[in-house]
Amino acid sequence: MSEIAPTREARHTRHGSSIGQPMTRREGVLKVTGAARFAADNHPPGILYAVLAVSTVARGRLVSLDLAAAKAHPGVVDVMTHENRPALASDPDEKSNPFMFRLDLLQNDRVRYAGQPVAVVIAETLEAATEGAALLAPRFEAETARVGLNGAEVFAPSTVGVGNPPKAEKGDVEAGLSAAAHRVEATYETPAQYHNPMEPHGVVAVWEGDRLSLDMPSQALVMAQGRLAGLFGIPPENIHIRSPYLGGGFGSKGFPAGPQVLGIMAAKLTGRPVKLVVKREQMFGPVGHRAPTRQRIRIGMDETGSLTAIENHTRTASSTYDDFFEAAADVAHTLYASPAIRTSYEAVRLDTGTPLFMRAPGEAPGSVALESAIDEAAQAAGMDPLAFRLKNYAEVEPISGKPFSSKALRECYRQGAERFGWDTRPLEPRAMWDEAGRLRGWGVGTATFPALMFQAKARATIRRDGSGLMETGAHDMGQGAWTALAQIAADALGLDIDAVEFRAGTSDLPDAGIAGGSGHTATAGMALHQAGANAIAKLGELAVNDEASPLFGAGNVGTVARGGRLVRRDDESRGESFSDILARAGLTHIEAEGAAQPDGAAQEAYAMHAHGAVFADVSVDPDLGQIRVTRLVGAFAAGRIINPRMVESQLFGGMIWGLSFALHEEGVSDPRTGRVMNADLAEYQIPVQADIPAMEAILVHEDDPHVNALGIKGVGEIGITGTAGAIANAVWHATGRRLRRFPIRLTDLLD
């Protein structure tokens, strides 16, 4: 049965449009009371528990496992290895499209990264499985691990991101740099980062013949169905995935991860339901991460501060066995007006798990480097950093020359600066002190992220009792999708939100596409909007052709849905209820499908991006180098806002992640073994409550008639892209020291 999103936790007694209202989360009460059922909360009868045994070396081969000791342990049912695993219908290392990533499913005894699963222990209890995994005592034949951006042979990747070209150029960069009155050349380094959502990856798998039932967090249900169907040789419709709630994803749950597939294989091996949940330390390897980058940026300016050239040459890394290259340089294509722009890439292959999409992929590391370099350029030109950005404001997309579908960035700068008090900022560094005797600095960063949209479907039903039902296999990772999408659904049907039942989160519903790229609300929302419009059109056809209806003959004028009624477009006093129309037609309900897809012609004609500006206030202890962010103000323009409360929450989350990027996060690999040394949430530093400053997110009005019919852009990732650079620039303004390696460490300020 499909998951039914609750509709009665908090009633909203208002009429008119649901879109634009700051409604509270529809599933909020379930979550705070513990009633929301996440994947690992499911316990079918006869369940077994599976635990991974993983490699302790980054490169080599598995020599031995003490299978006898593990199997002899009380409660252990079986141990799955590369020698007894169930056969698969396709090779896990096959790659037929850019969205199919290679998986480690016990293919052989080879080890490709530290933390790679080498066996699965299956037992009656979690404790027995955990103890059995320890008893396996795997031994390895280690080879020298390739670690770090200098750790392997450099080559030119054929693509970056998902199919993007590795080189792009407009104008003559060398001529622009040669002619420049001022030049900046600097190298910026960003580290490997690991997404660690509150809910680790896991699965509860049940086989019934060739039918598979899964409770599994997923950001793309139908894509997951297809991938698993190919691996197990069964039709996609034989796989039912339930994923009503996700405890975060950040891109890591866009595709089935290897450990989840191993849990499904363990269920097939034993013939019983199996639960496998990845341990926290096992999140640092098989489920993706953000690759490190080294970005060499060159910028030229004339005597007035106008740009003459921008170049970003990026080195990044992928695994030895797959291809995903962080498109960090590409952010230089979109932000600043320059007659010459060039981006290029080189890469190394390391003994790590494959880097994958991590929140604001490409833009996050690319923007922190570009925004730092732009600040350095402003300093070289003797200009205020905000004035320099406005001087080089791009009225069209610089690399392509396309007009923007909409761009309210100038207004973001204005409103953010005004709220922050930027006009009182001294130009020179080390000119401000706080009352505690700490150096104080202010910085600004420009935020940007593409306005993406994918394909999706939805189904709308209008019932005789005047209520509505909307269905789509949408995903809520905690960002409020169930609320925002229900608001769109209610408006599409012309009903109050409390009169609409909203179903989402299972693979037997219409395909809602992928919840990624900050495009889920636009994608699933447009499908819901179209399904509602089609259902209302069917209802209107019944009414205008019925002589007994007050709407009879209104076909040329048209009708509008308002508050559960259809009314004439030219005279809203003439109309009737949905219930009356259906009752007179002898129908219990009326149903329609809807679909959404990107507008190819609009995408060809326009550059589509969300924009913003973030202003940061930091204090730095002059003796200890301790950095504190004391205030963040962000102003963002992201098209039509469906729910201001949810959007503000998303922007705060992005700004916090930007703070984390600038000052905290770094995956550290042991150069001797290739193992991640801080594979836990104690030593992998992320901000805690005490690190979070006063924050403000300003929602700047923006109308965009081109991105989609609803005018929606995404907000999930854009907050990161301005914040990290703003903080780095504020640290320079406080200290006079330009730090180009991230995260910024207090030791960097004490050297």
pLDDT band at 484 (very low <50, low <70, confident <90, very high): very high
Average pLDDT over residues 145-160: 97
Whether 271 maps to a domain, the answer reads: yes
Burial 233-269 (b: 16+ CB within 10 A, else e): ebeeebbbbbbbbbbbbbbbbbbbbbbbbbbbbbbbb
DSSP-based three-state secondary structure for 496: coil
Looking at residue 552, its pLDDT comes to: 94
pLDDT at 12 over 60: no
DSSP-based three-state secondary structure for 688: coil
Looking at residue 162, its pLDDT comes to: 87
| Amino acid letter, 79 | V
Domain holding 384: CATH number? 3.30.365.10
DSSP-based three-state secondary structure for 134: helix
pLDDT tens digits for range 371-413: 999 999 999 999 999 999 999 999 999 999 999 999 999 999 9
Q: Both 559 and 612 in a single domain?
A: no
- What Å distances lie between residue 706 and 483, 512, 603, 684, CA to CA? 24, 21, 8, 42
Residue after which a domain boundary falls, among 222, 246, 277: 277
Q: How far apart are CA 125 and CA 74, in angstroms?
A: 10
Whether 163 maps to a domain, the answer reads: no
Looking at residue 556, its pLDDT comes to: 85
Q: Both 258 and 363 in a single domain?
A: no
Looking at residue 5, its pLDDT comes to: 39
* Residues 343, 275 contacting (CB under 8 angstroms): no
- What Å distances lie between residue 106 and 78, 91, 210, CA to CA? 15, 11, 22
pLDDT at 1 over 50: no
pLDDT band at 98 (very low <50, low <70, confident <90, very high): confident
Q: Both 374 and 421 in a single domain?
A: yes
Residue 609: its H or E element = strand 609-620
Q: How far apart are CA 264 and CA 127, in angstroms?
A: 20
pLDDT tens digits for range 607-659: 999 999 999 999 999 999 999 999 999 999 999 999 999 999 999 999 999 99
Contacts of 707 (CB under 8 A, 6+ apart): 405, 406, 451, 453, 522, 602, 608, 639, 713
Looking at residue 239, its pLDDT comes to: 98
Q: Both 714 and 638 in a single domain?
A: yes
Q: Both 642 and 692 in a single domain?
A: yes
* Residues 66, 135 contacting (CB under 8 angstroms): yes
Residue 717 a catalytic site member: yes
pLDDT tens digits for range 159-215: 999 889 999 999 999 999 999 999 999 999 999 999 999 999 999 999 999 999 999
Mean pLDDT of the chain: 95
Whether 385 maps to a domain, the answer reads: yes
pLDDT at 598 over 90: yes
Domain holding 235: CATH number? 3.90.1170.50
pLDDT band at 751 (very low <50, low <70, confident <90, very high): confident
Looking at residue 99, its pLDDT comes to: 81
Q: Both 536 and 617 in a single domain?
A: no
Alpha-carbon Rg of the chain, whole angstroms? Answer: 27
| Assigned token pair, 728 | 């780095």
Q: Both 422 and 458 in a single domain?
A: no
| Assigned token pair, 401 | 């020359």
Looking at residue 96, its pLDDT comes to: 83
Looking at residue 555, its pLDDT comes to: 86
Nearest to 262 by CA among 84, 85, 46: 85
Looking at residue 438, its pLDDT comes to: 97
Torsion of CA 399, 404, 410, 412, to 10 degrees: -110
Average pLDDT over residues 126-148: 98
pLDDT tens digits for range 267-304: 999 999 999 999 999 999 999 999 999 999 999 999 99
* Residues 505, 475 contacting (CB under 8 angstroms): yes
Q: How far apart are CA 27 and CA 281, in angstroms?
A: 30
pLDDT at 9 over 50: no
Q: What is the DSSP string of 152-215?
A: S--B--S-BTTTB-S-EEES-HHHHHHH-SEEEEEEEEE--B----SS--EEEEEEETTEEEEE
pLDDT at 489 over 70: yes
Q: At what angle do helices 363-380 and 718-735 cross, to 10 degrees?
A: 40
Residue after which a domain boundary falls, among 226, 251, 277: 277
Q: Both 413 and 502 in a single domain?
A: no
Among the listed residues 371, 376, 648, 717, the single catalytic one is 717
Whether 608 maps to a domain, the answer reads: yes
Q: How far apart are CA 324 and CA 162, in angstroms?
A: 8
Looking at residue 669, its pLDDT comes to: 96
Q: Both 458 and 424 in a single domain?
A: no
Residue after which a domain boundary falls, among 597, 617, 647: 597
Nearest to 699 by CA among 629, 607, 609, 610: 610
Looking at residue 97, its pLDDT comes to: 82
With pLDDT > 70 as the criterion, what percentage of the chain qualifies? 98
CA neighbours closer than 13 Å in the CB half-sphere of residue 621: 10
Looking at residue 385, its pLDDT comes to: 98
| Assigned token pair, 266 | 């363990």
Per DSSP, what are the bridge partners of residue 469?
Answer: 461, 501
**Domain enclosing residue 214, as ranges:** 40-143+201-277
Q: Both 327 and 307 in a single domain?
A: yes
The count of domains in the chain is 3
Q: How far apart are CA 80 and CA 261, in angstroms?
A: 13
Per DSSP, what are the bridge partners of residue 353?
Answer: none
| Amino acid letter, 510 | P
Whether 728 maps to a domain, the answer reads: yes
Looking at residue 389, its pLDDT comes to: 98
Q: Both 106 and 215 in a single domain?
A: yes
Whether 505 maps to a domain, the answer reads: yes
Whether 188 maps to a domain, the answer reads: no
Q: Both 100 and 8 in a single domain?
A: no
* Residues 18, 532 contacting (CB under 8 angstroms): no
Whether 185 maps to a domain, the answer reads: no
- What Å distances lie between residue 351 and 103, 280, 354, CA to CA? 15, 20, 9
pLDDT at 14 over 90: no
Nearest to 52 by CA among 24, 80, 16: 80
pLDDT tens digits for range 416-432: 999 999 999 999 999 99
Residue 369: its H or E element = helix 363-380
Average pLDDT over residues 572-586: 95
